[in-house]
C-alpha cells in the first residue's frame, strides 16, 4: 500500500521530509501540501516535482479524502491544533518536535489519543533512530553495568539573534531530554541549571553557555553543556558512566588526516548533516505504521514528558543553581 501523505508546513524540514518521502523512502507519496505562505508550498511542489494539491488550511488538508496520513512540520506553536485535528479525523500523524509548546497542550493531545483508543501520533525525536545512539543503548543495556552518570554536550557553531535563553531548552536541549529517558529507560525527578560566565558571542537576551543537571528516578545524574555559540562546529557528545565501564556516543564518520605536522579530524558544522540518516529511518518507520492505520516510535506521552521537563528546566534557568522538582502524572496504559 502507498500511504498518501499531506504535509503542513513547507519550510526547511517540511521540504526535506517531502523530498525523502518521494525520492528516498518506500511506501509513501506526498499528495497534499499546506503552508500559511502559499508561495512556499508552491515552490516546494515545483522544486521536488510533487504531484500534490495545495490546501488553504492545514485543517482542510487533514479532512481531505486524498490524505491518509499527515506530517506536521509547521511552526511549533501550531502543532497542537493540527495534531488534534488529525486524531479527530483518525489519521496517523507525524509531528516534528515540539509536540506542543505547553505541557497542557501536549496533555490535550495525550487525552485525545487515549480517548481514540489507538496510537496515531509519532513525535520527531529522530535521535532514537540514530545508529550511534542505538549502539550506545546496546552497550549501556548489556555491557557497562547499571548507569551512574551521563556527561553530555550539545554545541552549535552559532544561532540567530532572536535565539534567547529559554530556547536553549525548548529548541536545543529537548533532544537530549527525550533521548536520555530512552537511553536509560528512566524518568527525571529534578532539574538544575548553572551558568558560567557569559561567552563573548552571547548577547543581551542569551546567557550562553549553560549546564543543565538532570537527576533521574533511578538516581542517575546527567550533566549537559549547552553552548550554542561555540564557533568551532556542531558537536554532540555523550558519555555514560556505568558500574563496570564507560560507553561513548560514536563520532560521525570522518576521514582523519595527517597534514602540516598535525593530526586532523573534521567536525560537522550543520545540524542537518549530523542526524541525516536517522530522519530517513524515523519516517520509514512512520510510513510502515501508517500503512496499518497506526503509529510507532516516540509517542505523544514522550512529547508530553519532554514538555513537562522543558518547563522545569526553564524554571531552573530562572532560579539559577536551585533544583526544580519534576513530577509526572500516571502514564496511561496506551503508552506502556
Ligand atoms: P521553518 O523553516 O520556519 O518552516 C516552518 C513553515 O511553517 C514555514 O513555511 C511557515 O510559514 C509555516 N507555518 C507557520 N505557521 C503555519 C501554520 N499555522 N500553518 C501552516 N504552516 C505554517 O521551520 P523548520 O526549521 O522547518 O521547523 C519546523 C518545525 O520542525 C519546528 O517545530 C522545529 O522545531 C522542527 N524541527 C525539528 C528538527 C529536528 O531535528 N527534529 C529540525 C528542524 C526543525 P512562514 O515562514 O510564513 O511563517
Nearest CA to ligand 1 atom 4: 11
Can you give the chain as a three-state secondary structure string? CCEEEEEECCCHHHHHHHHHHHHCCCCEEEEEEECCCHHHHHHHHHHCCCCCEEECCHHHHHHCCCCCEEEECCCHHHHHHHHHHHHHHCCCEEECCCCCCCHHHHHHHHHHHHHHCCCCEEECCHHHHCHHHHHHHHHHHHCCCCEEEEEEEEECCCCCCCCCCCHHHHHHHHHHHHHHHHHHCCCEEEEEEECCCCCCCCECCECCCEEEEEEECCCCEEEEEEECCCCCCCEEEEEEEECCCEEECCCCCCCCEEECCEEECCCCCCHHHHCHHHHHHHHHHHHHHHCCCCCCCCCHHHHHHHHHHHHHHHHHHHCCCCCEECCCCCCCHHHC
The whole-number pLDDT of residue 11 equals 97
- With a cut of 50, list the residues of the chain below it in pLDDT: none
- Candidate of 19, 32, 33, 36 to mutate for ligand 1, largest count of ligand atoms within 8 Å of Cβ: 36
The whole-number pLDDT of residue 44 equals 98
The predicted model scores a pTM of 0.96
The whole-number pLDDT of residue 263 equals 97
Q: Ligand 1 atom closest to Cα of 13? A: 26
CA 298 / ligand 1 centre spacing (Å): 19
The whole-number pLDDT of residue 151 equals 98
Pocket flag, ligand 1, residue 96 (CB < 6 Å): yes
Could you report the per-residue pLDDT of 254-276, keeping only the tens digit for each? 999 999 999 999 999 999 899 99
The whole-number pLDDT of residue 178 equals 98
Pocket flag, ligand 1, residue 81 (CB < 6 Å): no
The whole-number pLDDT of residue 65 equals 98
Q: Ligand 1 atom closest to Cα of 78? A: 18
Could you report the per-residue pLDDT of 178-195, keeping only the tens digit for each? 999 999 999 999 999 999
Amino acid at each position: 500500500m502507498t500511504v498518501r501523505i499531506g504535509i503542513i508546513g513547507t519550510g526547511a524540514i517540511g521540504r526535506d521530509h517531502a523530498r525523502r518521502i518521494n525520492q528516498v523512502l518506500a511506501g509513501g507519496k506526498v499528495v497534499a501540501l499546506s503552508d500559511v505562505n502559499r508561495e512556499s508550498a508552491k515552490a516546494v511542489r515545483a522544486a521536488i516535482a510533487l504531484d500534490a494539491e495545495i490546501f488553504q488550511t492545514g485543517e482542510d488538508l487533514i479532512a481531505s479524502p486524498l490524505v491518509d496520513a499527515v506530517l506536521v512540520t509547521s511552526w511549533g506553536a501550531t502543532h497542537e491544533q493540527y495534531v488534534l485535528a488529525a486524531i479527530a479525523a483518525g489519521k496517523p500523524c507525524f509531528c516534528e518536535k515540539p509536540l506542543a509548546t505547553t505541557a497542557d497542550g501536549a496533555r490535550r493531545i495525550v487525552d485525545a489519543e487515549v480517548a481514540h483508543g489507538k496510537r496515531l501520533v509519532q513525535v520527531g525525536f529522530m535521535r532514537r533512530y540514530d545508529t550511534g545512539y542505538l549502539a550506545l543503548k546496546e552497550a549501556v543495556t548489556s555491557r557497562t553495568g547499571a548507569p551512574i552518570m551521563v556527561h553530555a554536550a550539545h554545541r552549535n557553531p552559532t544561532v540567530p539573534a532572536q535565539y534567547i535563553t529559554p530556547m536553549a531548552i525548548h529548541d536545543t536541549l529537548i533532544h537530549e531530554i527525550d533521548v536520555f529517558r530512552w537511553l536509560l529507560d528512566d524518568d527525571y525527578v529534578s532539574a538544575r541549571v548553572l551558568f558560567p560566565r557569559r561567552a563573548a558571542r552571547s548577547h543581551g537576551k542569551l546567557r550562553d553557555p549553560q549546564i543543565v543537571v538532570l537527576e533521574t528516578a533511578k538516581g542517575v545524574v546527567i550533566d549537559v553543556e549547552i553552548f550554542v555559540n561555540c564557533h568551532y562546529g556542531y558537536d554532540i557528545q555523550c558519555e555514560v558512566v556505568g558500574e563496570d565501564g564507560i560507553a561513548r556516543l560514536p563520532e560521525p564518520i570522518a576521514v582523519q588526516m595527517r597534514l602540516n605536522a598535525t593530526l586532523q579530524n573534521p567536525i560537522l558544522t550543520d545540524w542537518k548533516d549530523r542526524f541525516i540518516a536517522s530522519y530517513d529511518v524515523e519516517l520509514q518507520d512512520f510510513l510502515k505504521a501508517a500503512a496499518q492505520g497506526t503509529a510507532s516510535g516516540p509517542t505523544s506521552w514522550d512529547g508530553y514528558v519532554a514538555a513537562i521537563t522543558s518547563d522545569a528546566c526553564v524554571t531552573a534557568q530562572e532560579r539559577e543553581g536551585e533544583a526544580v522538582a519534576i513530577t509526572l502524572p500516571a502514564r496511561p496504559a496506551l503508552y506502556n
